[in-house]
A = this chain, B = another copy of it.
């Protein structure tokens, strides 16, 4: 398999974009990525999106976006894996380039959620759960995650307050990210006073939705090495699924798909968790950040939350997470999130992250979670020299 690298990134701010359509958002990110890469086009376009069919009455986003950005006739498809659509799309794009079938690919993640009433979006998000067993009883994603968090707190004896730093760190970092939806630091008291959505998940445990798009340009690594800028290689890529319904897992407190996909990525990269300089986690809920840290080998089972409590997740900690705001501060336009994580990782590895720059960052890891842990995709990017 030939090595691939990222040579361009683009993002829009995550916001309520009332004056931009889906194609405008996707196009802005895509054209920024193409410009950043310094290329005139690509040979294939991959679009990650979850809910445009119902939220925007537009499917077929491959052709829709390729044409808009001036790449009419270029091969283009959409990839969907619920909230992990972004990373799934990136993985499809890297396999396309790695196979030799194309020599360059554009991976775009886009989602436009705020046009629809919240109740519709809640129903739409529920299509990522098991329609026959979970959707059928009307359970929402917040409620599914609340069940998991409740059980976790009971099993390992944690209090709600113990999760505060996940949210505080994310918001503190988002302040410095011009593309983040909420650029406002929060205090421990804000976390404590924030209203419950579904116990024990409060507003400050949950990531906000939003409209946004992010994009990356992928080429063979040998091509990236001929350009006079840091080479950001895809060192590892792994993907795995789990039972779609939470109740159907052997252990609902263990993200088997995170563990499997991370192992695959570590193995390809030839490193372990101790070499990872920062980790863009999928903190859709604080409990997901916790479980992800454990499954990827950064903490013992039941102890992920301790990393937050002991301030090891900040930019100067042992394993910095959500370094540009995470899903909590940056926002979570579902199908675009994985692509934002990857774009931010490139920014960190290029040393262009500003006040939240991780010193001497060489290996950055991303993990994008679909459903309540049923589809998890892990990538390790590496800065060469």
- A interface residues (Cβ-Cβ under 8 A, vs B): 1, 21, 23, 44, 50-51, 53-54, 56-64, 66-67, 71-82, 88, 91-92, 95-96, 98-101, 123-124, 126-132, 135, 237, 239-244, 248, 256-257, 260-261, 370-371, 374-375
Residue of B nearest to A61 (CB): B80
CB pair B81–A81 under 8 Å, yes or no, is no
CB of B98 within 8 A of CB of A63, answer no
Q: A23 contacts which chain B residues (CB < 8 A)? A: 132
Q: Which 5 A-B pairs have the closest CB atoms?
A: A99-B99, A1-B100, A98-B99, A75-B239, A58-B131
Distance between A384 CB and nearest chain B CB, rounded to angstroms: 21
Is the pair A92, B80 in contact by a Cβ cutoff of 8 Å? no
B56–A53 CB distance below 8 A: no
Whether B79 lies near A260 (C-beta < 8 A) is: no
Interface pair A60/B374, CB less than 8 Å apart: yes
Residues of B within 8 A of A63 (CB): 81-82, 241-242, 244, 370-371, 374-375
- Contact A59:B80 (CB < 8 A) given known A1-B101, A95-B95, A132-B21: yes
Most buried by B among A64, A126, A243: A64
Listed by A's residue number, 19 A-B pairs whose Cβ atoms lie within 8 Å are A1-B100, A51-B53, A53-B53, A53-B127, A57-B131, A58-B130, A59-B128, A60-B374, A60-B375, A61-B80, A62-B88, A63-B241, A63-B374, A64-B244, A73-B256, A73-B260, A92-B95, A95-B95, A101-B237
- Complex CA–CA separation, A78 to B66 (angstroms): 19
Shortest beta-carbon distance from A116 to chain B in Å: 13
Contact B100–A375 (Cβ < 8 Å): no
Known: A98-B99, A241-B73. A135 touches B58 (CB 8 A): yes
| Known pairs A127-B53, A237-B101, A243-B72; A80 contacts B96 (CB<8 A) | no
- Nearest chain B CB to A162's CB is how many angstroms away? 30
Q: Is the CB of B59 within 8 A of A50?
A: yes
B241 touches A66 (CB 8 A): yes
The answer to whether B95 and A99 have CB atoms under 8 Å apart is yes
**How far is B54's CA from A368's CA once the two chains are assembled, in angstroms?**
24
- Within 8 Å CB of A239, what residues of B? 44, 75, 77
A58: which B residues are within 8 A, CB to CB? Answer: 127, 130-131, 135
Question: Distance in Å from the Cβ of A52 to the closest Cβ of chain B?
Answer: 8
- Cα–Cα distance between A176 and B78 once the two chains are bound (Å): 35
The answer to whether A79 and B79 touch (CB under 8 A), given A60-B244, A67-B244, A127-B58, is: yes
Contact, CB under 8 Å: B131 / A56: yes
In the complex, chain B residues whose CB is within 8 Å of the CB of A128? 59-60
A91 vs chain B, min Cβ distance (A)? 8
Q: A56 to chain B: which residues have CB within 8 Å?
A: 131
Contacts of A99 in B (CB 8 A): 1, 95-96, 98-100
Cα distance A130–B91 in the bound complex, in angstroms: 27
Q: Assess whether A135 is in contact with B79, with CB atoms less than 8 Å apart.
A: no
Q: How far is the CA of A244 from the CA of B60 in the complex (A)?
A: 9
In the complex, the chain B residue whose C-beta lies closest to that of A129 is: B60
